[in-house]
Amino acid sequence: MPNTIVRAAIYPGIGIARVGNSANDFYIGPEVTDPPAAPLGFYRDATGALKREAARFRIYGYNAQGHVVAELTQSANVEIAWTVHLANRKAAWYQWQIAMDIPDAATTVLPLRNAKVTDRAGLTIDAGPQSISGTAAAPVTCAGKFSFGGVTTDVPLGVLRTDDAGRLLVLGAQGVSASPTGQPIFDPNDGNSFINADGWYDDTCDGTIDAMVAIDGKSIPVESAWVVTAPPNYGPQLKAVRTLYDLLHDLYIQAGWMPEPGTPSFTDDIYPILHRLTDHQWVNQGFAGQFGGGAPYNFADPSLIARLSAKAPAGQFDPNAEFRRQIFNAFRPPIPVSNTPTPPTPGAGNPMQWPWIYGDAMDRAAYSDNARQNSSITPTQSAALAAWVAGDFTADWGQTPPPPRAIDDVPLADQPAMLNRAAMDFCLADAFHPGCELTWPMRHMSMYKAPFRFNRRPAGTPEPVYGPTLDQTQALAADGPLHAQGPGDVNRWMGLPWQADTGFCRGGYDTAYDPFVPTFWPARVPNEVLTLDNYAIAVNAHLPMPDRVAAFSQRMNWNAPLTGTTAEQMEQMVKIFGSMGLLEVWPGVEGNGALPAKMMVASFGPGIYAAPASVAVGETRLKVGPSGEQPIPTPVRRKPG
């Protein structure tokens, strides 16, 4: 029967939760690729603390032909019981130094973190399998223990909930990182101690999501999923130029797991690549100067969009073809995902090619002959742009329906794919140095059994022991760590603690070249932001336009609250990460080429920035949420850590 459900699967296949320092408040992460902007103040609780982001998991039932029949929720004839196993294995794993799958890592040998600790089991924070069922069920805390130097500490890794339909919610933890025995977070005499802090733990994690489903008392098989808890998203409306979805989509296409794309749509395939450059104006001063309001390549400018989206009739001269070609040539060619050595190419690391994002092999020089000095778009993205240049695209700007704003707006058959994409679209693929949410193992097919489904190590099956060091050969071997995964295995490659990394992957390291670009992760960790003070001037219609434009153009150094030595700044980030600036969407100025109709403005938690109590926008005065208690320190240009 076409409506008979014979199996089920959990979506998204890889869900993302995020930590926050709010004690109780949380929100649900993106479930569509273009969610509406949240109301002002949405991401902070009444005290100004940062809410945690929950990953919501849904179950879809399939018939024997592989078609989606229904979303399965708790009901009179459907019973659902969830089991989640979270773990953090960072302290027991090898150091982070470099992406181990690139030529630059050929001679790298990674020592263990906490190499002197013989009882390695105590370094793994394992919450074990935890179960929850029913609708709006009482919260279940997932916690493990961290043991170092004779001290054992309880470490919560997250909280399980269910919604009113019995769907699973996995909340991130509260962003606690610490050394119970007072070990240093960074040793300036040991460069390899950067984001490899011995004696420290953090409460990010990853793990398995399982469900038992019975329909009318009969159990059916259910495809499991995975959850990763990650650092906060300080730019929740922003996407990287190449998202983690873009990387995985391309990976699966190259492997034959997903179909080759057809004729690119300007609206769906071309414009997002360009507009993401313009969106970076809210997080980086360099991008603002080239792609922002009033800038040469403001891809939000309607007149520019009209030119880019126009297609000449067949057989007629195309007046925009050369302009499209120049834009395409401004992008850096795709960099192959391979550890095969790439001969140095003069100019390969030219930072002026787009995107202005550092790569996996970044060094501190602006120019480098290393092709991996800076990042690139994927081959799939590049092929779409090449077709656009040739005029082989669908000119559909303004002719397509608006994107769905909630998962219920998506046709049932398309909801599983949308959930997979939405989770990965708000994660970074560049630079894997190591990255924000996940890192370089994600680009290896051996990690997966199907698109967005990790290969899973059976419970009770121990992972091979790789010894006191890990080199490239072993890291990429057929019996190496890039195959069957267990709880804690995906997150273990990330920095420890995460705040040390987030506080120091910045932009403009070669200030003699440019103090702002290239940059690392601005879509998640801003570099320069618009403050409410300058926003209030920019939208004040009673002030001279030059003053308004000047205020709009002046951005604050996001890292200005972090002062002192490298170690001191890291320790400050551990304490105040929840108060750092998070971008909210405010009304801008309509019909003004130099000032956008919407602006992203940084909101801060207590103790960082004394925001005005309210801001006049046209004839309306908007109230500002909980403000800080102290003025921000005088901004200083940030330095490499």
Question: What pLDDT score was predicted for residue 630?
Answer: 38
Mean pLDDT of the region 115-119: 96
Q: How confident is the model at residue 300 (pLDDT cuts 50, 70, 90)?
A: very high
- Mean per-residue pLDDT, 471-494: 97
Q: Write down the pLDDT at residue 342.
A: 59
Q: In whole angstroms, how far apart are CA 628 and each of 210, 586, 610?
A: 42, 19, 5
Q: Is the pLDDT of residue 632 over 50?
A: no
pLDDT digit string, tens, across residues 554-588: 999 999 999 999 999 999 999 999 999 999 999 99
Over 60: is that where the pLDDT of 528 sits? Answer: yes
Mean of the per-residue pLDDT values for the chain?
93
Which structure tokens are listed for 535?
Answer: 């926003």
Which of 537, 531, 546 lies closest to 617, judged by CA?
537
Strand partners, 82: 132, 211
Share of the chain above pLDDT 90, in %: 86
Nearest-angstrom CA–CA distance, 439 and 125? 20
pLDDT in tens, 193-235: 999 999 999 999 999 999 999 999 999 999 999 999 999 999 9
pLDDT, residue 67, reads 97
107 pLDDT exceeds 90? yes
Strands (E), 108-182: 109-111, 125-133, 140-148, 151-162, 168-171
Exposure b/e, 413-442, CB count within 10 A at least 16 = b: eebbbbbbbbbbbbbbbbbbbbbbbbbbbb
> 12: cis peptide before it, omega within 30°?
yes
Residue 351: pLDDT band by 50, 70, 90 thresholds?
A: confident
Greater model confidence, 476 or 338: 476
State both tokens at 414.
Answer: 């398309």
Q: Answer whether residue 154 shows pLDDT above 60.
A: yes
Q: Residue 368 has what pLDDT?
A: 73
288 neighbors 532 (Cβ within 8 angstroms): no
| Amino acid identity, position 412 | L
* pLDDT, mean of residues 129-148: 98
Name the band, by pLDDT with cuts 50, 70 and 90, for residue 614: confident
Spatial separation of the C-alpha atoms in residues 610 and 629, rounded to whole Å: 6
Angle 145-150-151 (CA atoms, 0-180°, nearest 5)?
45
More confident residue, 393 or 372: 393
pLDDT at 592 over 80: yes
Q: Is a pLDDT exceeding 70 seen at residue 9?
A: yes
Could you report the per-residue pLDDT of 417-471, keeping only the tens digit for each?
Answer: 999 999 999 999 999 999 999 999 999 999 999 999 999 999 889 899 999 999 9
**Residues in contact with 473: Cβ distance below 8 Å, sequence separation at least 6, in sequence order:** none
Give the lowest-confidence range in 55-59, 290-294, 369-373, 390-394: 369-373
Q: What is the pTM of this model?
A: 0.95
Q: How far apart are CA 531 and CA 609, in angstroms?
A: 9
Helix (H) or strand (E) holding 571: helix 566-576
Six-digit token pair at 204?
């990010």
d(CA 523, CA 247): 16
- The distance from CA 33 to its chain's CA centroid, rounded to whole angstroms, is 13
Kindly indicate the confidence band of residue 628, based on its pLDDT and cuts at 50, 70 and 90: very low
Does the pLDDT at position 298 exceed 70? yes
Q: Can you give the C-alpha Rg of the chain in angstroms?
A: 24
Nearest CA-CA partner of 125 in 497, 433, 428, 454:
497
